[in-house]
Amino acid sequence: MLKTNCDIGERGVAHPIDDQLMQYIDIANIACGGHAGDDKSIAYYQNLAIDNDIMVSAHLSYPDAANFGRIKMNISITNLINSLTEQYQRLPVGKIKFHGALYHEANTNNELAKALANWMQQQHINLVLTPADSLLANHARQHKITVMAEAFIERGYQQLSDGKLSLIPRGQAGAELDTVTQALAQYQQIQNGAMIINSQHYPIIAQSACIHSDSAIALELARAIHKLRY
């Protein structure tokens, strides 16, 4: 059964949607100050996760709150690693998920993926959420770091020229699924191991599926998936 993970704490302490989402998810990826979040929101949602008996991962990003971490940042690997270390020290739980542009860059940039895997090993991180076939996943496995393969429930996918699946970039048509019905259908496809795009089936491997807390359908979708499972 797919574990549901959700990016949490990106809108401060006690956000009504985030608070309710915590009742329906398995993993909370708590923002650690790179793109959003601060010490108060980290502590608040870590405690709420404990109350709801759910796993916590540190949600780490380019240090770019102005762009919510969703634009590739021109930053040296050394400075990036220093920022990630500072972010992770706020929530050193042994499990991480990268955010936004950094997440996608780590999937396709070999130099960055290798550097991040080395850093994860140095920080004694034992689990990372990332796509099964990403470069980050490959390097993480080489460092004996567990990869929890991830897919996305309410984001649209496309096939790239190399045959791999990729999210449709935000702002483009089809990037976000608008209805719970659409998202539930995609959830079922992920669970069945095959994404359907233009009537073609593409294999997909996932142990966890993500709902973005700032999606318009996030709470309704989380409730619907929870009802399906329980």
pLDDT at residue 160, rounded to an integer: 81
Q: How many CB atoms lie within 10 A of CB 192?
A: 11
The pLDDT, as a whole number, for residue 161 is 75
Question: What is the average pLDDT across 38-54?
Answer: 98
Q: Tell how strand 146-152 and strand 208-212 pair up.
A: parallel
CA distance 6 to 177: 16
Q: How many domains does the chain have?
A: 1
Instruction: Read off the pLDDT of residues 68-98 as tens digits, 9 standing for 90 and up.
Output: 999 999 999 999 999 999 999 999 999 999 9
| Tally of CB atoms within 10 A around 39 | 11
Kindly report the average pLDDT of the chain as a whole number.
Answer: 96
3-state secondary structure of 178: coil
Residues 146-176 pLDDT 10s: 999 999 999 999 988 777 899 999 999 999 9
**What CATH number is given to the structural domain containing 179?**
3.20.20.370
Q: How far apart are CA 148 and CA 85, in angstroms?
A: 21
Structure token digits, residue 6: 């959700």
- Tens digits of per-residue pLDDT, 179-225? 999 999 999 999 999 999 989 999 999 999 999 999 999 999 999 99
- With vertex at residue 202, the alpha carbon angle to CA 201 and CA 206, rounded to the nearest 5 degrees, is 125
**The domain containing residue 201 runs over which residues?**
3-229
pLDDT at 127 over 90: yes
Mean pLDDT value across residues 7-11: 97
